[in-house]
Amino acid sequence: MAQFVGTTHQDGVATVTLTRAELHNAFNEVVIEELTRAFRDLDQDVKTRLVVLAAAGKSFCAGADIYWMKRMVDYTFEENVADANLMADMLRAIRECSKPVVARVHGAAIGGGVGLVAACDMAVAVRSVVFSLSEVRLGILPAVISPYVLEKIGPGAARRYGVTAERFDGTEAKRIGLISESVETPEELDPWIAGIAKAVKGNGPKAVAACKKILSDVTGVPWADVQALTTKRISELRVSEEGQDGLKAFLEKRKPGWVSSEESPLMFKKILIANRGEIAVRITRTVQQMGVGVIAVFSDPDRLAPHVVCADEAYALAGESAADTYLRGDKIIEIAKQHGAEAIHPGYGFLSENAAFAQACGDAGLTFIGPTPEVIRSMGDKLTAKKKFEQAGVPVVPGWSGAGDDPVYVMRGEADRIGYPVLVKAAAGGGGKGMRVVASAEELAAAIDGARHEAGAAFGDARVFLEKFIIRPRHVEIQIFGDTHGNVVHLFERECSVQRRHQKIVEESPSPAVSDSLREEMAAAAVRAARAIGYTGAGTVEFMVDDAGSFYFLEVNTRLQVEHPVTEMITGCDLVAAQLVVASGGELPFSQDDLQRRGHAIECRIYAEDASRGFMPSIGTLGVYEPPVGPNIRVDSGVVQGSSVTVHYDPMLAKLVVWGASRDESLARMRWALQRYPILGVTTNVDFLQALIEHPSFVKGEVHTQFLDETTVAPPSTDDPPDEALIAGAWALSRKSKRRGAAAELTTAAGPWDAGASWRMTR
């Protein structure tokens, strides 16, 4: 799955969307590679009739990524040539795509962004949009984009705007020919494009492609050769199957075969995302790719957060704490209704598994993007879930449920029957709250009291039950997906055994401990469980697996999981897109036969916390934040450089996800990426994660849920900087004056060497 470029399809129109909204959709190597691949794939897609090039967030494209530009400072001539060729290949892929391409320019197009617009066949822009060929301001020139710009705006305008770097608006862009049409408001962009799509889809697909090609091929051809070229092309089309059908349809007064009257199910026009951080950014990316508007909500500390910046609209939830903001379902529903949202996506955490909120959405006429309130309610009660799935033939952990509020002496007798160790477990909630491991009868009463008190405070439900405590189990979950048409599929397993205080830290798929036969058994049980409760949307059925390979139902998470990118990387499916399709009443966009595993993916959760101090959360401002970039590396981030990390919310900054053809390749890529993830201003767990994935037991796949409790994972000491850091620092300082200039204009801290906050280099 692409990281920064998304492609969606509807009624023959493919929309390619730049999704680096938090960085103004600026180019780097990955963006360029993904755009090139997207257009080459669409060139071969017979179902696509028109391609729309769009962008998420406030800007269309701001040219080169500042971090990419920083690396350019040290490029050799040969490296610069190779780098420029990547950009040239991308522009050619857009220009030579056999389908008409329309640029949807809703925000600023600067530098290379102008080149993107010029490479398209047509463009529509808002009149207030700013355009600029800004390269000369940086001491470089718009060389690679120049042929496309020159063709569109002619030599006079190209000279003026190329040498002055003056800014101009949509009205001027239309006058000089860069765009086809300018409109007053962003809301007018899509109707204009819809008109173009309707016109294109009424024409012969091969004829349209041939028209694009002939207009390109005759440019510069001597007049003596034009006649032979053009007569040959028209003759080829007249005798083709499409040409014959088109001519006969005209004479017979009927529609030609390529005109379809089919219509797709209605999709939402606007949704509200009731969340923050990386998951809100990630959901926004897909939703905007689908042409759906996004409303963000934000607390006072999140006023300038990335999820706010990349949304189409954003509205305040007055307050700082989660209780006053992201947990206020009444405020969120009021904003959704007031500003025209048709649905609410809850993300994970906060209100995502709150049945009352899901019900309130329905009562307000809003679609809750998730399962029904009844399913959420029943699966939130572990006693109910366990009984229901036992009846459906899903293996469950041996234990005793009782009424949930039974006297201690009754529970002691049942614990003796089950055999110690036992687990006292809350009937409601999750996240390890209200859970106690009991090794002997003497510990049971205190454990029951403690679990009831914690569960009552956390969930408002003090009921507990008993299960046999399985020593050193693996935690393996199956991704499920259902729709309202009776379809239920699984998307394989995720290994989630590496946990701290019942919170997952590293996830991967496939599990190194799950055989093909065990995978089939677990997946079949998960699908049975989903069918038993009429599950719709995305969810997971979680199991414990013991040393003998027996598996037992643990719980159902009725939401999109934090670790869903692992599944997306091995299947190529966009789970958020599927959520919207299902919630809008459509069928699942994939069948079980469509789903295939490919390669291996690993996810590490990047937290602002100090592993050397008991994983104490760390707060501060990110003086440097540069996620790693490279093929098959995905970073779902909720922060950018300059973001503040506060005490109010979960300290997770991002999820680093990698893919490899094998587990060994995936591990090597994760090591490489973690070593290239500078974060300054807060302490993070990056060093700890490096040590963890290099631990011999993890490398062998020999982990379990108690692994971190029983194993010392020691990151390198932070007392003294490594020698290479001192050498690199001295080298950087010696070059610092040379680096002031173009790069200095663009950022106040060109890298860790220029940052004032404390930091260290990871070996």
Closest-CA residue to 458 (of 424, 430, 500): 430
Q: How far apart are CA 213 and CA 217, in angstroms?
A: 6
Radius of gyration for the chain, computed over Cα atoms and rounded to the nearest angstrom: 28
Cα–Cα distances in Å, from 304 out to 206, 299, 347, 547, 757? 48, 10, 20, 48, 21
**Active-site annotation holds for 519:** no
Scored b (16 or more CB within 10 A) or e, 606-622 reads bbbbbbeeebebbebeb
Per DSSP, helices labelled H in 58-101 are 66-72, 77-95
Cα–Cα distances in Å, from 104 out to 189, 194, 567? 7, 11, 31
Cα–Cα distances in Å, from 157 out to 62, 123, 136, 539? 21, 17, 15, 55
Single out the catalytic residue among 559, 605, 634, 669. 559
Closest-CA residue to 496 (of 737, 761, 708, 749): 708
Sequence-ordered strand ranges (E) for 197-265: none
Q: Quote the distance between the C-alpha of residue 143 and its chain's center.
A: 33
- Which amino acid makes up residue 352? S
Instruction: Identify whether the C-beta of residue 361 lies closer than 8 Å to the C-beta of residue 386.
Output: no
Whose tokens are 């600067």? That residue is 110
Q: How far apart are CA 456 and CA 695, in angstroms?
A: 38
DSSP characters for 497-542? EEEETTEEEEEEES-TT--HHHHHHHHHHHHHHHHHHT--EEEEEE
Instruction: Identify whether the C-beta of residue 467 lies closer than 8 Å to the C-beta of residue 399.
Output: yes
Supply 517's token pair.
């036969």
Q: Within 10 A of 174 (CB to CB), how many other CB atoms are there?
A: 18
Q: How far apart are CA 175 and CA 463, in angstroms?
A: 71
HSE-CB for 620 with a 13 A CA cutoff: 21
The packing angle between helices 686-693 and 663-674, to 10°, is 150
Q: How far apart are CA 589 and CA 587, in angstroms?
A: 6
Pairing relationship of beta strands 422-426 and 537-545 according to DSSP bridges: unpaired
- Which amino acid makes up residue 397? V
Catalytic positions: 559
